[in-house]
Every structure is written in C-alpha cells, then in structure tokens.
Amino acid sequence: MKLKYIELKNYRNFIDTKLHIDEKTLVIGANDIGKTNVLYALRLLLDKSLSEIDLQPQDEDFCIYSGGANEFSITLNFVEAVEECILSSFKELISDTNEVYIRYVATRSKIGGTKDYKLYVGASIEEIQLVSSRFYLRALNMRYVSATRQIDQYLKTQKNKLIEHLQDARTDEEEMSDNQRFEELSTRIKTIENELNTLSFIRKAGESLNTQLRDLSEHHQEQTLKLGVDLPSNDDLFRKVSLLSSIGEHTIQLGGEGRKNQTFIALWSALNQISIQNGQPNEVSIFCIEEPESHLHPHQQRKLAEYLISVLPAQVILTSHSPYIASEFNPSSIIRLHTKQRGPGTICNLNGVSEELGELIRGMEFRLNPLIAEVYFSDCVLLVEGTSEIVFYKNLAHQLDVDMDKLNISILSVEGVGFTRYIDLLNALGISWVMRTDNDYQKYNRPKQVLKEAYYLMGVKRLNKIYSTKCLGKVPVGEQFEDIAKLILEHKDSLTENSSACDTHRNEIYSIFYQSLSNYGLFLAKVGLEEDIYYSNTIVQEAINKFFIPDSEEEEILIIDDMIAAMKSKKSTFMYHFLETNRECLNSLKNDPLAEPLYTCQTIVQQMRVGHYVGV
Amino acid sequence: MLEFEPTDQQKNILAWNGNAVIVAGPGSGKTWTLAKKVQDIMGKCRNYQGVAAISYTNKASKELERRAKLLCNGTKQSFFGTIDSFCIAEIVLPFGKRIMGTPSVQVLVENTQIPSQLELIKSIKKAILTIIEKYSEHTLQQIYDQNISPYNELDLSYRVYLKERFLGGGFDLHLINEIANLIIMSSKTCSNYLKAKYRYVLIDEFQDSGFLQYSLFKRFSELGINSWAVGDFNQSIYSFKSGSPEYMEALISMESFQRFDMNINHRCHPYIQAYAELFLKIQNEEEICLIPEGNSRIIRVSLEGTQSVIGEWINVSLNKIIERTGFKKSLEIAVLARTNESLEMISELLKVPHRIKYKLLLDDDRSIGGNLLRQLLTLTFNPKEHTTKDFVEYYFDTRIRGVRENISSVKKLISKFKDACQDERKECKRVDSVINIVNQIIRSIYPEYELNKFTKEAIKQLVDNSILFENFRPVKNDEIQLLTIHGSKGLEFDIVLHVDLYEDIFPNYLSTGNAIKEQEDVNLHYIALTRAREYVYLISTSIKRIYSKRYGRYYEHPKNPSPYIQGDIKRYQLLLQQAE
C-alpha cells in the first residue's frame, strides 16, 4: 500500500494544494513555508500518538488566505492496497482497483466559534462515508520523528525498550543459555562485591561506625553495620545499561550532537522494524523524519540520506534543509514548497513528484552536486554565463546592499550546460529565475541562402526563444508596454540577415528589445560582461586601467592594446583580483543596467513575501 | 476446565490443519474441542486475523466464545455467532454497498411483514437460488476471470427492489443467505477480505444446514480458508427449517475434506449410551454389535390415565427417585416431551417446584424490536446471564463521540423498564407504558425504528400474564425442568423423564411414508435418551389427551406405548411397578 497524494484545502497556509508522493520523497522549502504543516496533516490521520483531543481543530488551522473560510479538509489517497492486514481492516472500503481514500474535514461556525471535525473513508471520493474513528490505525499508520527531537531523553528511554524487545525476541535455547550465563555472572558479581568490601578504607569505615554505635546503644549488639558496595542484580542490572561508545577496548563519551543524532536514527530504525511473515506485514507504516541532517558534517549527511533511503522498509518522507541530502535524492521525488509572486498561500511545484522532472534532471549531462542542489532552496536564481559573472555580481550585490542570502537568492553559472537545461529544471521546481546573457554575434555558413555568410545576434535570439517557450508561468515584474511576440515577429530578419558583426546594429537591436525582455527577467548585455563593465562609466574604467597599469611612472610599462581582451584572458581570476582591491568603484554602477538583474531578483522575492501580494 | 486433556480422538482432530468433517456424537466434548482448536488457531494467527466460529443458536455461540476466551488471551479478529449474523455483518452490510450502493442511513435487517412483499420475497428467493445452482460447479476464480457478475443475472425489477430497500435502510432477513452467496460470487473485494481475515471457519450443527449454508461453506473452503463442519447425523431434527444431513454427507464424500469421528460419550452412563445405540441399530435395521451390560439405567414406567397422571406420579415419586439415584439437585432432573401442550398438562398437576418454558409470542418474533426486547427481559430477570453492560456493548459502539450521553439515557430507561416489569400492581395502562419505554430505548439506538405490531402484542402478552416472565428467570436449584426435546438440544441432565411415548407420537403419525420425517422421529428419541447422564425414565400412559383447535375442545383416546420402547429392547429396561 502506498500513499499517492495528499490534498490540502484551506489548511493552515495551503489554499488548495495536491502533493504527489513517491516511495521515498523529499520535501524542501524555506523555513515557515509549511513543511511541518504537511506532516502534521498526515499525523492527524495517521499518527497513533495523537489522541482524540488533539484531533480537534483550532482557529489557527483554518487558512487565513481564503477570505475566512470556515471549513478545511485533508484528503489522502492510497493505492495498491493489497496487504492482508489492510484488507482485514478496511473491509469493503477498498475499491476494485485497490484504492482507498481517507479524509478529515473540519468545520467551524465562525472565527472563534464552535468547531468540529468528521472523518471519512471510502473506495473513491464519491463513495467515502462517515466513520466514527481512525479505526484503521492498527493496520495503517505513520512513524514520526520531529525536528525538535530530544535526543538525549530518547536515547535514555528507548535503549531499555530495545533491550526488552531483544529479550522477547530470543529463541527458547537463547533464553535458556542466557539464564544459565546470568547465574554464573551473578555469582561472580557477588564475589566482586565481597572483594570490594575488603578494601581497607571501606572496611575501616565500617569498623569505625560500629565502634561509635556500640557506645551509643546496647540494644542491637548482634547487628553490625558496614559500608559496602551493592551491585545490582537481575533486572536492575539492565536498567543500569547505558549506551557506551568505544574505541577498541576503551570506552569514551558517546559523542557530540552529530554522533548522537546518528545513534538516534539507528536506534529508532532498530525499534521500528516491521514484522513480516510470508510476505505479509503486520501493518503498513509510513516513516516521516524531519531534518535528519541535524548536526552532521556534509559527508555524513549524504551517508545518512543513503541509509534512510535504502534501509527503511517502507514509504519514507523526509524534510530537509540540506543540499547534500537533496543531491542524493532521486530528483523526481523532490517536492518543493514555496510561495509565488502575486499570490498568497503555499503551493508546490508541478503538484509534487513527477517523472517529467526526473527526466529533466537525468538529462543533464553531469551529476548533480550540492552546489547545484543549493538552488533547490532558493527563492530566485540569477543565471549567468560564467564564473566571472558570479564573482562580479556577488561583489556588486554586496556593494549595492542587495542582501543575497537574506533574500534566498542564488547565482548560478550555466557554463558548459547552457541556459535552457537549468531553466527547465527551475521551472519544474517552481523556482523563479532571472538571466543575463551576452549580446554576441555568431557567424553562420548558409550555402543554400542568398546571403551565404550571415551574422546572427545569438544573445537576442536566445532570449527570444526562451521567452516564447519557457516563460509561460512567468509574471512580469512591472507593467509590460510592448508585446514581445510582436517585436520578435517584426524584427525576425534583422537578427539573422546581417552581413557583418556591426556594432551599431547591435546597439539598435539592444534598445528595441532590452526594456520588454528585462521586464520578464531576461537581461541582454550591451555587448558582454567585460565590455559592459569597462564602458559603464569613467570611475570604473579608470580603476581597471589603474589595475592593469598601476604605476604609469614605472620604468617598464606593459603595453596593453586591448584592455578588454586582457580582462577576458584572465577570466574570473582577473575579476577576483580586481575586485579584491577595487570594490568601492562598483558603487557607481547603482543605476547602471548591469545592476538591474539584481534589482529584479530582489523585487521578485519581495513580491513573494507573505502580505506583500496585491488582491484576493 | 483449563486443564482440559484431550482424548486421542480429540488430539488427532486438533492436530489436523486442513478441511475437516467431524462427526461428533452426544457428550463427545465437541464444544471443548472446538474451543481448544480456536486457542491453537489464535497462536498461529496474525493480529488482524481470526476464526469464524459459527453456531446454530446465539446461546451456543456465546458458550463457545466464553470457553474460547477462557483458554486464550484474546480472540483477535474472530467472529462468534450464527450464520445469519455472520452473513449480515461480514458480507451483506459491508459488501452490499459495493453492489447496491451506499445507504445514508443504517441498514436494519428484518423479516418483512407486509403480505404483498412476502410474495415478492419468495420469487426473489427462487430466482437467486436458480443462479446459485447455476454456478455451483464453477469455481470463484473462474467466475471472476470471466468477468461474470452473477448478481446482474438477477431480474432487473428484483435488483431495483433490493436496491431501493437497501438504500432506504432495510433488508429482508429471509434473503440473507441467498444474497450472501450472490455477493461472494460477484465481488472479488469481498472474497479478498474474507480470505485475508479468516484463517479458519468452523460451523457447528452442520447436519441442520441447508443448501444455502452448504454453498457458502464450500465457497469459504474454495478461498483457501480452512473449513471445518461439525455435526451428528443422528441429531438432525430441523428438516422443517430446510436443514438436511445430506450436505454433511456430501462433504464427507469430498476428497478435500478429511473425516473424523468423535464417538466417545463422556456424558452418558455407558449403559445409556449402549441402549441409545442399540435403539438406533434396531430402527435402522443394522447389525447389532454392542449390548448394554450391567444394571439397567433405563427405567420403564407405565401409568393409567392421561398425561396429567404423570404430574401426580412425579409428586409422589420425586423423593423416591432422588433417593434411588442419589442425586440431590432437582434442577438436574428434566421432563422431556415432544410438545409444549403435554408439558403444560403435566405442569398443571405438579406440586413440586418446577420450571416450564411457556410458549410465548415473543419466541417467534425475530424482528429487531423482538431481539431487543428479549435482551431487556433477560437482563431484567437474569442479570447473571446478561447485564446492562452487555446490552450497551452490543448496541453501542463506544468509540463514536457523543454516544456517552445516549448510553446514560438508555441506562435510565432500562431501569424504568425493570421497574415496570417487576411491578406487581395491576394497572390497566401498564402495557402502554412498557411499550412506550421500549420504544424510547429503541429510538435511542435506531432513531427511525418503529416497533411492529407483533412485538407490541408480545409485550402485551407478557405484561398481562406476568407468570410468563418466569421464562426469563434463572432456574432454581429445587426446580425440576420441563422442556421440549428440541429445546433440550445441547443440554444435559442427571435424570431424564421422557414422556409423550405414545404410538402415534413416536413415530409421529404424520411421518408415515416420509423417510426423512421418520428418521427425525428416531433422532428425537435418541436425543432425549442422550441428554441423561445417569438415568432415563421412559414414561407412558394409557390415555392420550389432546386439544383440538378445530373443535375447540379436548379429546381423550386410549393409546398404546410407542413401538420405540417395545419389543426386543424391553429386555434392557427395568420395569417399575406402578405401586412404587
């Protein structure tokens, strides 16, 4: 039996969202986006530890974005319900195609008024019927580990459980042999006890006490007191068992928080085995763990993710903030929760897990690494041509007080991969993006055409194509004055039928397209990064000149014909070193088109913030 | 009986893990063996599984459940009840929804009283029977594979009728077994459910099963559920309810069913057992192998007069009987007759304390109101057997929120009911007030339900003749019991006083020529004999008194004693002189 989707309507910060779940699913999203709410919705229907009182709805559970809705619902769809324990529990409530629906509906008379809830189960949405309780919990439930787990406490209480568990699971022979051994050990314990009591200071303490007592009282002459060591026996002994860590034969402290977290997860997994006989489990459980990466080093995070994916014998839902875990996960199994521009409430990408997303990512000709995976957690991504841009824009952002981290903005270089692949990925994940591309010419041979050698304005073409095919869901940042589609049609030829790489022509096209495209976050360079920077203003130009020719009084002065070429030849090393000492000159770029991509990112993110939306 | 030690016969049975037919004679320890088997099965069952233990009466299933619970820690998801309640709860109500739709109200299963509907029900029964017979040789797998839905072969008008009634919250009890068969054949989900949940099905008194129960039983075994049928050919007495031992015989002849015999009678004194077997052999014209040895335990009494003289005779002889046999507790002495009328005639003259089960209108009332009334009366007059708590547990699901207020108001009403029944004062409005209370109780459970007129009549009969309440009181130690032989099934006594031994009652003159009915008469006498642990008194009188409804008066005819107790078998009886 598998959970296929969770549908939340008017629940907490979800207006109407359907999340599709996979065998192993990762739920990511910014803090306070509602990840825990999704798990809590599951808990209302599946967690045994919640009592009837916990199921009562509160005012805070009703979504505030829906104009004060007085009803919310949580619906779960399960498929492949074939296990015997499920058949026995659900009886006729399973469809002929082995599906089951479970629904929780809460209602209130008004805000602050009387509240109530009802539970429904059925073979299809149309056939669900009212049930009096979560009768199915013995056969279908979830195991939950929260982000705020008390590891020390858990380790203390649960270790005994593990021991009891193992004691019960012994075979008769094992039990007999253990009991025999225990008797032998008990005698040895007694011996040690006796020997300890012969230690001189312990013995003397006893003697001294007794002497004093004898002087005090005559009554109890036969009774002697002594100090001694009392070692626990039998069951008591097991209470004293602690979790020890050892290296070779030496015992050491259990370890830091990270190690404890790992121990926690290991212990929890050991205690949460599901008993299976003849291929039939005793129950169907979904394992939900929040932030398994707590306190762990990146490599350990990856290892933990791998462990949880392969070892847990059931459906697993994890939430995480870790790009290391995200990059290990099957990409089509990632749900990203986020808000969108101009709209309240939390939604999720593509309604959750999808094959499409998986194909997209697998189509990338390289393995996802955590750097790339960081974009999963961003609210907006600025796609640029190469690492020089990254260095430049990071510094520019700093100088212009655009706080990238605070705004959850990432900058990503598409070098070697291309814009389109990343854009597809970001669209599928529902992450807003902005791009800046060079306005370059490319020479083409066209033997069959009239103009045999033509120069194409690749940058513009690139942006136009992306506009036409990849921007369906994009919301313009400001008011859109021109119809881009019209523009593209009008100027089609001027982008390709150029006999030379003419700069004037390039500038013309630039002015025609720049405004409209940039409103959609598609930024065209005037020429290229180095050119745009060098020719932006005099302050910057002088700073660059000074960088290459620091001292014009020097004896040997290197002749640099082409400053731009020099900038380009060193690539990002130039950028890095230049900005190391000349950052302040970037302040002058405040109103330069170079800075606009940053401002656009900033605006997009601000528009997504709760309370900032217009309307509804 | 926690130290129940199985005999070798029983051990063999307990060790068997396939389908079985168990021929269990009287006193063979059948109920304990079944309870022990339930305990075994529980050990091997998963938490979500259980055994379906089906008995002929509610009383019998309660007894089996009680014994099983004594032996096991818990019976997991097991079902203890009658075949009707199993069909209703596990097949018709849940999976009827898949076939007829989901009703918005609770569905109550009752026999319809409206005459026009009765005709329709009869036709539907016939139609369904035809379909069941049609597919009796097909396996369930074949039916599913070919995508056949036997239910849809039922006439459209019938299906519409059933659907309307079902969605409206009603279903006819007459159709339960038929529809259960049809549903299993038409719903794979139902089969999957039964197979997942039940490891074993045990059906008791299989000799009284009809074709429908037999069909159902075969389907269970087809699903892979270990199926056990337990019964005794010699105790088949319910042909009037369509029961027949032929189905049990059919099972015995099937390869997949292993036959076991439990023929050691732990109850009866060996003399009685041997005498009873001898009787059977003579009647069935079989070779005699065993003869009773030792002092006879079968005492023959011949009296002059009508049935009433039996009453007088008991008055005089009871002490002597007790002295002679050494048994002190009167309640272990039973008078067994064929009809209630005979018992009443005896009772009129009986001066010693005794208990007779009066014939009540309520006995035939199988409606929801009737069942509820029966429970109320039991908990009023015999709280040890059935408590208010049992009542509440039966009718209320305590997991539903808001049900607790309901329960406390019902408890208050139950107190009122008890007071009203036990109130000796004769008030003319008493009947109405009792009906009113019962109505209120039932409305708290089934808000839409109306008590039907038969139940109201039944209440009137009881309230107007409070002696009838005795039926519900527990038997006292000093009361001898007066029962019909049908009513004594499954019970045992130290001493049995067998009456009604007239030539035209055993065998019944109406049975002449009808082989089945003749066999049943033989079985009845056999059952009566095997109720006794120690002694049987065979009492015949010279005159039979009978009431004729047609002419509205009593008639008296001289009669000979029954041929069952005459002839060669007399050798083994001890003749008691009338003077004694």
CB A3 within 8 A of CB A77: yes
Strand partners, A277: A280
- Dihedral of CA A143/A146/A150/A155: which sign? positive
* Position A616 pLDDT exceeds 50: no
SS3 at position A276: strand
- Classify each residue of A204-221 as buried b or exposed e, where b means 16 or more C-beta atoms within 10 Å of its C-beta: eebeeeeeeeeeeeeeee
Residue with tokens 């994890």: A318
Q: For position A358, what pLDDT does the model report?
A: 65
Class of residue A189 by CB neighbours under 10 A (exposed 0-12, middle 13-18, buried 19+): middle
CB A316 within 8 A of CB A25: yes
Section A537-553 average pLDDT: 82
Interface test with A, best of B192, B194, B396, B397 (most A CBs within 10 A): B192
SS3 at position B146: coil
CB A253 within 8 A of CB A263: no
Is any Cβ of chain B less than 8 angstroms from the Cβ of A135?
yes
CB B525 within 8 A of CB B271: no
Q: For position B325, what pLDDT does the model report?
A: 78
SS3 at position B81: strand
Is any Cβ of chain A less than 8 angstroms from the Cβ of B97?
yes
Is any Cβ of chain A less than 8 angstroms from the Cβ of B460?
no
Rounded Cα–Cα distance for residues A118 and A21 (Å):
24
Report the residue from B97, B102, B399 with minimal CB separation from A132: B399
Task: For residue range B193-226, list pLDDT tens digits in order.
Answer: 999 999 999 999 998 888 999 999 999 999 999 9
Is any Cβ of chain A less than 8 angstroms from the Cβ of B398?
no
- Identify the CA nearest to B533 among candidates B234, B231, B205, B271: B271
Given an 8 Å threshold on Cβ–Cβ distance, is A123 in contact with B400? no
Rounded Cα–Cα distance for residues B12 and B562 (Å):
40
Enter the tokens of residue A201.
């200071």
Q: How far away is chain B from the Cα of A465, in angstroms, using its nearest Cα?
A: 53
Q: For position A77, what pLDDT does the model report?
A: 96
Is any Cβ of chain B less than 8 angstroms from the Cβ of A591?
no
- Identify the CA nearest to B367 among candidates B556, B108, B120: B108
What is the DSSP pairing of strand A334-340 with strand A343-348? Answer: antiparallel
Q: How far away is chain A from the Cα of B95, in angstroms, using its nearest Cα?
A: 6
The string of DSSP codes covering A490-548 is HTHHHHH-BSS--HHHHHHHHHHHHHHHHTTTEEEPSS-HHHHHHTT-HHHHHHHHHHH
Residue of B nearest to A52 (CA): B401
Section A590-605 average pLDDT: 92
* Position B579 pLDDT exceeds 90: no
SS3 at position B496: strand
Rounded Cα–Cα distance for residues B113 and B457 (Å):
14
Given an 8 Å threshold on Cβ–Cβ distance, is B197 in contact with A84? yes
Rounded Cα–Cα distance for residues A296 and A261 (Å):
8
Confidence at A394, pLDDT banded by 50, 70, 90: very high
Residue with the larger pLDDT of the pair B285 and A220: B285
- Identify the CA nearest to B487 among candidates B202, B309, B237: B237
SS3 at position B490: coil
Task: For residue range A194-250, list pLDDT tens digits in order.
Answer: 887 788 887 787 788 777 777 777 666 666 766 666 666 665 666 666 666 666 666
Q: How far away is chain A from the Cα of B183, in angstroms, using its nearest Cα?
A: 12
| ipTM value | 0.72
Chain B residues near residue A277 by CB distance under 8 angstroms: 46
* Percentage of chain A lying above the pLDDT 90 cut: 24
* Percentage of chain B lying above the pLDDT 90 cut: 39
Strand partners, B355: B481
Calculate the alpha carbon distances from B564 to B457, B501, B502, B507 in Å. 40, 8, 9, 8
Task: For residue range A466-475, list pLDDT tens digits in order.
Answer: 988 888 878 8
Interface test with A, best of B95, B166, B193 (most A CBs within 10 A): B193
Calculate the alpha carbon distances from B448 to B105, B440, B451 in Å. 9, 11, 10
Rounded Cα–Cα distance for residues B330 and A438 (Å):
112
Q: How far away is chain A from the Cα of B195, in angstroms, using its nearest Cα?
A: 8
CB B545 within 8 A of CB B555: yes
Residue of A nearest to B196 (CA): A84
Rounded Cα–Cα distance for residues B129 and B558 (Å):
47
Is any Cβ of chain A less than 8 angstroms from the Cβ of B98?
yes
The DSSP code for B103 is: -
Given an 8 Å threshold on Cβ–Cβ distance, is A132 in contact with B400? yes
SS3 at position A299: helix
Is any Cβ of chain A less than 8 angstroms from the Cβ of B77?
yes
Is any Cβ of chain A less than 8 angstroms from the Cβ of B88?
no
Interface test with B, best of A83, A91, A119 (most B CBs within 10 A): A91
Q: What is the CA radius of gyration of chain B?
A: 25
Task: For residue range A242-282, list pLDDT tens digits in order.
Answer: 666 666 666 666 667 777 778 777 777 777 776 777 778 88
List, in sequence order, the alpha helices (H) in B446-476: 453-464
Rounded Cα–Cα distance for residues B462 and B358 (Å):
11
Query: Beta strands of B33-74 (E only): which ranges?
Result: 50-55
Helix (H) or strand (E) holding B38: helix B30-44
Report the residue from B49, B95, B399 with minimal CB separation from A92: B95
CB A529 within 8 A of CB A547: no
Is any Cβ of chain B less than 8 angstroms from the Cβ of A96?
yes
Section A451-459 average pLDDT: 85
Given an 8 Å threshold on Cβ–Cβ distance, is B77 in contact with A88? yes
Cα angle at B534 between B533 and B540, to 5 degrees? Answer: 105
The DSSP code for B428 is: T
Q: For position A365, what pLDDT does the model report?
A: 47
Report the residue from B47, B49, B189 with minimal CB separation from A94: B189
Neighbours of B70 (CB within 10 A): 12
Q: For position B500, what pLDDT does the model report?
A: 93
Task: For residue range B545-577, list pLDDT tens digits in order.
Answer: 988 888 888 889 999 999 999 988 888 898 886
Interface test with B, best of A51, A53, A92 (most B CBs within 10 A): A92
Task: For residue range B488-538, list pLDDT tens digits in order.
Answer: 888 889 999 999 999 999 999 888 888 888 989 999 999 999 999 999 999
Sheet containing strand B79-82, edge to edge, reads B79-82, B50-55, B198-203, B226-231, B19-24, B257-262
Q: Please report, as a single letter, which amino acid is at residue A161.
A: K
- Classify each residue of B471-493 as buried b or exposed e, where b means 16 or more C-beta atoms within 10 Å of its C-beta: bbeeeeeebbbbbbbebbbbebb
Residue with tokens 């065979």: B538
Rounded Cα–Cα distance for residues B523 and B517 (Å):
10
Give A62's contacts (C-beta < 8 A, 6+ positions apart). Answer: A10, A11, A68, A69, A70, A71, A72, A106, A108, A111
Task: For residue range B446-456, list pLDDT tens digits in order.
Answer: 888 888 888 99
Q: For position A615, what pLDDT does the model report?
A: 41
Rounded Cα–Cα distance for residues A336 and A354 (Å):
12
CB B107 within 8 A of CB B95: no
Chain B residues near residue A86 by CB distance under 8 angstroms: 196
Chain A residues near residue B77 by CB distance under 8 angstroms: 88
- Dihedral of CA A372/A378/A383/A387: which sign? negative
Calculate the alpha carbon distances from B377 to B270, B430, B468, B474, B487 in Å. 40, 16, 11, 12, 19
Is any Cβ of chain B less than 8 angstroms from the Cβ of A1?
no
Enter the tokens of residue A295.
């306190």
Given an 8 Å threshold on Cβ–Cβ distance, is B189 in contact with A280? no
Task: For residue range A395-440, list pLDDT tens digits in order.
Answer: 999 999 999 999 989 999 988 778 888 888 888 777 899 999 998 8
User: Where is average pLDDT lowest: B173-187, B416-430, B467-481?
Assistant: B416-430
Give B269's contacts (C-beta < 8 A, 6+ positions apart). Answer: B297, B532, B533, B534, B535
The number of residues in chain A equals 616
Helix (H) or strand (E) holding A206: helix A200-216
Residue with tokens 């192998």: B289
Task: For residue range B349-380, list pLDDT tens digits in order.
Answer: 889 889 988 888 988 888 889 999 999 999 99
Report the residue from A87, A96, A123 with minimal CB separation from B196: A87
CB B272 within 8 A of CB B297: yes
Enter the tokens of residue B180.
């259960």
Q: Please report, as a single letter, which amino acid is at residue A609.
A: R
Average pLDDT of the residues of chain B? 88
Given an 8 Å threshold on Cβ–Cβ distance, is B193 in contact with A92? yes
Calculate the alpha carbon distances from B419 to B383, B423, B434, B468 in Å. 14, 6, 10, 16
Q: For position B236, what pLDDT does the model report?
A: 83
Neighbours of B357 (CB within 10 A): 18
Confidence at A100, pLDDT banded by 50, 70, 90: very high
Percentages (nearest 5) of helix, strand, coil residues in chain A: 45, 20, 35
Given an 8 Å threshold on Cβ–Cβ distance, is A92 in contact with B400? no
Average pLDDT of the residues of chain A? 83
